[in-house]
Structure 1
Amino acid sequence: MKPSHTRLICRAPNRFTPSIALWQHFIGPQQHIPSQPRFSSTVSEAVQDSTSSDNTVPGPGDSGPLQEEAETRNVLTQNKPSNNAKSVIRKTTTVKGIWHPDKRDASISKNIDTKHAARQASVEAAEQLLTAAKTAFDEGKDYKGVVVQPMLNATTVKESKLPWCLAPEERTILGIDRLAIEIEIFYTYSKPSYYESLARRHVIEQVRKHSRQTLPDHILEVFGSERTGLAMAMSDIDLRLLPQSRIEDPEKVKLPPTHEQRMEGMKNLHKLHFNNLARQKAYLLPWLRYARYPLISLQDKQSGLDIQIVLSNDTSLSRETMKRYMDEYPYLHQLYFVVKAMFDIRGLSDVFRGGFGSYSLFMMIVASIKHLPNKRNDAAGALLHFLKFYKNLDTVKNGVCIEPAVLFKKSEEAVMPDKVKSRLEATVLTLLQGGAAKPLPKYMLSLRDPADKTNDLGRKGIAIKHVQATFKILLADLESNIKSNSRPSLLGPLVGSSYMLNKERRDRLRHYGQKLSSQLKDSLAKTAKMVKEREQAAEEAKLAEEANKESEEDKKKARLVREERDREFTHLAEERNVRLRREAERTAVLDHGDAMASILGMPIADRDPEGQQKHALAEESEAKMEAQAQSGAQSSPEKKNP
């Protein structure tokens, strides 16, 4: 049943709502203010109520609400700008960002901003922790180790969608076995694919090409993870700048450079940076760093790969040591990739901010395997023992030695010999202009390099206390997840965020590799076409040459046959002429008798039948010879061209 009348709805932008009416009736009269606020459902300036509620008339000296309102209107009228004045639009900004009329768009924008802020906060948190640790180190103070959370991406993904996560039906196995499978899959995923490897090789050759333009007598030697086979898809590319003369002498390459060679190398590095790489449009952020080993750091624009050109010493001995350990422990590759990713996503692998480099991480893993072997002899057991070993290691008292696998007292045994230590202290004193050399803090990790007994691999790891605090939490979570075996990915808390952090960069690198592969295929197709055309041309030329040769031989044979035929024809013609002459003479003798014969001086012809028979046989033989000569001439190649 329809209502008897239509409901009226006020559609004004400033409609008079019931709450305003209630406020005017109950709250407004009790407010002790000079003038009551007026609420209106229209834009008119007229007063709604012309009389007061108590019907009293104000006296001459009383300034009631109406009088004050009139005075206010007069002031506004006097201050009102003229029509000729130029109107100015005032723009106001707020901290809430762009205004969206649609609630859905506003909600989406808010979520995006929140995720971006969370990612930025995660990055800044790791940087702040490392900066605080480095500041305390520079000031000779101690700091408190805290758990370093992984950096996050603005776009998140479910843990069950990670590429190394097993399907639900495959998670029924033991937790430790599932962890081993996830580590193996993660290793396969983290390795460079075919297109990514192609892009990395192209970038190396591109940098070498640009380097030869400025330093033609120098080469760039690949070293680091790219040389040892431990490079991940987005790992830095490390190149060592060497003069060609040192490469030609293997003994000189292994020796550390002299002071003059270092100065010359620094000069060449400076020249390469400012005269070439800094002007190339193919690179971003070229930067010359004056460190212990000076280097040029830059990023390739197309692939997004980071490149470092370093004036480093020879690393062949360290490379051989790493190869020996990788042969001894086949699962070392897989475990290294997990540990490296775990440090990368937390910013703990930045050496310049107090983190641990690739070589130090590798030897830390080897040390944990040597000191705390696992019965499973696989990457899963080694990962648990790695976290447990460094979580419980007392870095204040003990140092770590790999060969032999022992812990030594830091207070009693120095990592470097006294001679080297005194020389380094003298150098530091010179640099500090008479200041005292500061010893390393007691909390620093001391790890003896098996390739060089005087090299302490932990001397730059200022963030070791943050590392130990992080390992403590990660180990507890990992053991709990292995026991419950209900989490979609056991590696999720350790390296889960690395997937989204590197996904965009890896997609970019893969697409660049696909582009290079397409260009390479086109180039190979053109080259193959040119080679095929050349082979066809050579084959055609060979056939033409053989045809010409056969033609010349045929011509020669035809000429010989023709000459032989001509000789036979000449001989036959001569014999025929002789025979005809004889026949003519014989005929004359037969016709005229002995008188003609006596005139010609010829003997009298034999008229017996036997003589005539012999004459017929001779004529038949001559006819056969002539027929054979004609058949030979017809079978020769020159029968078409007489």
Structure 2
Amino acid sequence: MSPRPEEERMRMEVVERIERVIKDLWPFADVQIFGSFTTGLYLPTSDIDLVVFGKWDNLPLWTLEEALRKRHVAEENSIKVLDKATVPIIKLTDSYTEVKVDISFNVQNGVKAAQLIKEFKKKYPVLPHLVLVLKQFLLQRDLNEVFTGGIGSYSLFLMAVSFLQLHYRVDACSPNANMGVLLIEFFELYGRHFNYLKTGIRIKDGGSYVAKDEVQRSMLDGYRPSMLYIEDPLQPDNDVGRSSYGAMQVKQAFDYAYVVLSHAVSPIAKYYPNNEGESILGRIIRVTQEVVEYRDWITKQWGSQSKNEPLCNGTLLKLTSVHETKQPAGRSPGLPNEILGAVTTHRAQGHSSSSPAGSVTKGKVGFEAHSSRRALYSLVF
């Protein structure tokens, strides 16, 4: 699932082919990569995002589209110009590798966001693994595209950053953190406890939750925070999740994943009927045979893996038992008794209700004990 060196080489060749066409048209144009490819958080089927900087009276979308078509860089029926979009782009599929590419012009935010992501990756070493698993989880459920109401890569990344910023265990952010536990806790937070109706996410200044009522008071008349309100740390007046109108579907998917994984790691899991050849993570994530064959083709074309290189194919991702640990009675295994008041109260009856008092508040939130013991699990890559 994690990017391989040969996949990076293949993608760089795609970028170079497109860049040659652009440089032939405008020698002084500056082509930059942004998005998941430059941050290293891309899946085998992820797009490449490019931005072209230059001086034009009108954006030369159709000029570049014609040149790419004539040079046979793009598949004939794949290239499209979205000139009416909020950010006009050219969408295409590379004719040789079938990698999808989005090209925009003079858009600064994408490059700045990529730099921000790299900084957070350094601060939280567990982020890349957590985000890649979550991206695959959403991808296979068609919940990863903003234009269909899903959660985009940037929104998902900021949700993961917020999760780690506000985590009650300091060691959750260390390189040796238990990835399996973190994944289950992420699903628990955003699938069960987070109050989407009343609470927004803020990343800047160390991270916090923010009351939507307060956000709305600062917005123009007629505007209100979206269901998944995420304040853009680079542009505070921008709601990153505003187009994710299917946020509640994502919440349901996260809740489902939490239930499945929690059952899988419970002490009585050995009594559940299950396919012995299936890993614990394999219960919620599948990598199709088509993707496996595509990655094998890339390996043959752009170089085989060295023996010292870790095998990162998503089909080998699994959760393995490390040990069991005791939990204090009356405490949730996934979240602490004392957390930010913006997170909803979870009771045994399944009801959730709470609201943040003011912009950012801390308070006691009651939880019924899920179990006095639980197994700790680690992701194996």
With normalisation by structure 2, the TM-score equals 0.69
CA deviation profile, 1:352-398 (whole Å, cap 9, x unmatched) = 11112111111011112223344662222221221111122221111
**1:278: Cα distance to partner?**
2.7
1:276 aligns to 2:67 (yes or no): yes
Q: Which of 400, 403, 408 pairs up with 2:210?
A: 408
What residue in structure 2 maps to residue 360 of structure 1?
Answer: 155
Q: CA RMSD in A?
A: 2.4
What residue in structure 2 maps to residue 116 of structure 1?
Answer: none
**1:235: Cα distance to partner?**
1.9
What residue in structure 1 maps to residue 230 of structure 2?
Answer: 447
1:458 aligns to 2:241 (yes or no): yes
Q: Please tell me whether the aligned partners of residues 226 and 242 of structure 2 are also in contact (alpha carbons under 8 angstroms).
A: no
Q: Please tell me whether the aligned partners of residues 236 and 308 of structure 1 are also in contact (alpha carbons under 8 angstroms).
A: yes
- For the structure 1 residues 206 and 335, does the alpha-carbon distance in structure 2 shift closer, same or farther, using more than 3 Å as the test? same
Q: What amino acid does structure 2 have at the position aligned with 1:216?
A: P
CA deviation profile, 1:450-484 (whole Å, cap 9, x unmatched) = 23222211111111010111111110110010114
1:337 aligns to 2:132 (yes or no): yes
Q: Which of 322, 345, 349 pairs up with 2:117?
A: 322
Secondary structure of the 2:265 match is helix
What residue in structure 1 maps to residue 81 of structure 2?
Answer: 288
1:394 aligns to 2:195 (yes or no): yes
Structure scoring higher RCO (CA < 8 A, sep ≥ 6) equals: 2
Q: Please tell me whether the aligned partners of residues 443 and 465 of structure 1 are also in contact (alpha carbons under 8 angstroms).
A: no
Q: Structure 2 regions of 5+ residues with no counterpart?
A: 305-381
Q: Which of 382, 391, 414 pairs up with 2:182?
A: 382
Q: What amino acid does structure 2 have at the position aligned with 1:350?
A: E
Q: Structure 1 CA distance, aligned partners of 2:143 and 2:70? A: 32
Q: Please tell me whether the aligned partners of residues 293 and 310 of structure 1 are also in contact (alpha carbons under 8 angstroms).
A: yes
Q: Please tell me whether the aligned partners of residues 326 and 333 of structure 1 are also in contact (alpha carbons under 8 angstroms).
A: yes
What residue in structure 1 maps to residue 297 of structure 2?
Answer: 508
> What count of residue pairs does the alignment treat as equivalent?
286
- For the structure 1 residues 510 and 400, does the alpha-carbon distance in structure 2 shift closer, same or farther, using more than 3 Å as the test? same
CA deviation profile, 1:211-234 (whole Å, cap 9, x unmatched) = 223333323211111222222333
| Matching of residues 239-254 of structure 1 within 5 Å | 239-243=50-54
**1:315: Cα distance to partner?**
3.6
**1:503: Cα distance to partner?**
1.7
- For the structure 1 residues 382 and 374, does the alpha-carbon distance in structure 2 shift closer, same or farther, using more than 3 Å as the test? farther
What residue in structure 2 maps to residue 475 of structure 1?
Answer: 258
Q: Structure 2 CA distance, aligned partners of 1:320 and 1:221? A: 12
CA deviation profile, 1:78-122 (whole Å, cap 9, x unmatched) = xxxxxxxxxxxxxxxxxxxxxxxxxxxxxxxxxxxxxxxxxxxxx
Q: Structure 1 CA distance, aligned partners of 2:300 and 2:22? A: 26
Q: Structure 2 CA distance, aligned partners of 1:271 and 1:443? A: 37
What residue in structure 2 maps to residue 492 of structure 1?
Answer: 282
Q: Please tell me whether the aligned partners of residues 395 and 445 of structure 1 are also in contact (alpha carbons under 8 angstroms).
A: yes
What residue in structure 1 maps to residue 41 of structure 2?
Answer: 230
Q: What amino acid does structure 1 have at the position aligned with 2:190?
A: Y
What residue in structure 2 maps to residue 207 of structure 1?
Answer: 18
CA deviation profile, 1:181-233 (whole Å, cap 9, x unmatched) = xxxxxxxxx22323222211111101111222333332321111122222233
Comparing 192-201 with 301-310, greater Cα deviation is found at 192-201
Q: What amino acid does structure 1 have at the position aligned with 2:24?
A: Q
Q: Structure 1 CA distance, aligned partners of 2:43 and 2:169? A: 26
Q: Please tell me whether the aligned partners of residues 222 and 240 of structure 1 are also in contact (alpha carbons under 8 angstroms).
A: yes
Q: Please tell me whether the aligned partners of residues 231 and 238 of structure 2 are also in contact (alpha carbons under 8 angstroms).
A: yes
**1:307: Cα distance to partner?**
0.8
Comparing 394-403 with 340-349, greater Cα deviation is found at 394-403
| Matching of residues 184-195 of structure 1 within 5 Å | 190-195=1-6
**1:327: Cα distance to partner?**
1.7
CA deviation profile, 1:26-56 (whole Å, cap 9, x unmatched) = xxxxxxxxxxxxxxxxxxxxxxxxxxxxxxx
Q: What amino acid does structure 1 have at the position aligned with 2:72?
A: K
| Greater strand proportion | 2
Q: Please tell me whether the aligned partners of residues 372 and 389 of structure 1 are also in contact (alpha carbons under 8 angstroms).
A: no
Q: Structure 1 CA distance, aligned partners of 2:53 and 2:184? A: 41
Q: Please tell me whether the aligned partners of residues 3 and 40 of structure 2 are also in contact (alpha carbons under 8 angstroms).
A: no
Q: Structure 1 CA distance, aligned partners of 2:265 and 2:201? A: 29
**1:512: Cα distance to partner?**
3.4
Secondary structure of the 2:213 match is coil
**1:499: Cα distance to partner?**
4.1
Q: Please tell me whether the aligned partners of residues 199 and 211 of structure 2 are also in contact (alpha carbons under 8 angstroms).
A: yes
Secondary structure of the 2:19 match is helix
**1:493: Cα distance to partner?**
2.4
| Matching of residues 581-620 of structure 1 within 5 Å | none
Q: Identity across aligned pairs (percent)?
A: 25
Secondary structure of the 1:318 match is helix
Q: Structure 1 CA distance, aligned partners of 2:208 and 2:148? A: 29
**1:295: Cα distance to partner?**
0.7
Q: Structure 2 CA distance, aligned partners of 1:507 and 1:283? A: 23
With normalisation by structure 1, the TM-score equals 0.42
What residue in structure 1 maps to residue 367 of structure 2?
Answer: none
- For the structure 1 residues 375 and 494, does the alpha-carbon distance in structure 2 shift closer, same or farther, using more than 3 Å as the test? farther
Secondary structure of the 2:238 match is strand
Q: Structure 1 CA distance, aligned partners of 2:112 and 2:25? A: 30
Q: Structure 2 CA distance, aligned partners of 1:242 and 1:387? A: 39
Q: Please tell me whether the aligned partners of residues 33 and 111 of structure 2 are also in contact (alpha carbons under 8 angstroms).
A: no
